[in-house]
Structure 1
Amino acid sequence: MTAPVALTARHWARTVRWYLRELMGEAEYDRYCERHRRHHPKAPVPTRREYDVLRTLRREEQPEGRCC
């Protein structure tokens, strides 16, 4: 591959990876971990599973615009 084609392929690969991470919620967990470390440096960061439980509990306690 020539250099511009390789850069374009890498760009598309990064774009697809970003989109999939946003779609699947991986990026949300990463942002949560960064914020948690910043605001609570001595507290352990919850695992992905613990984060999912916390997020689900919050959504159930505060239904934002859901009908049921």
Structure 2
Amino acid sequence: MITHTARRAAHWGRLVRWYVRELTGENTYDRYVTHTRRQHPEAALPSRAEFERQRMDEREADPRGDFRCC
């Protein structure tokens, strides 16, 4: 039997995990896949590594975009 305290702890654990994934940008690929499957079901999806490489190339190509320290 799962206690009320254990359910609350699990709930807070999921919230913390979601928050950290949002802060680090880890959810970006997941949102991209969801969007692409809904809007363009026939489109080929890149792997996570390919997606991250493309994303980084786009960031570096436009210095006006995200904050860059260097």
Normalization by structure 2: what TM-score? 0.75
Alignment length (residue pairs): 68
- Report deviation, 1:3: 2.7
Structure 1: stretches of 5+ with no match in the other structure: none
- Report deviation, 1:66: 4.2
CA RMSD of aligned residues (A): 2.2
> What fraction of aligned residue pairs are identical, expressed as a percent?
47
Aligned residue for 1:59? 59
Structure 2: stretches of 5+ with no match in the other structure: none
Identify if the C-alpha distance between structure 1 residues 3 and 66 changes in structure 2 by more than 3 Å, giving closer, same or farther: closer
Which 4+ stretches in 1 moved above 6 angstroms?
none
Identify if the C-alpha distance between structure 1 residues 31 and 2 changes in structure 2 by more than 3 Å, giving closer, same or farther: closer
Normalization by structure 1: what TM-score? 0.76
- Structure number with the higher helix fraction is 1
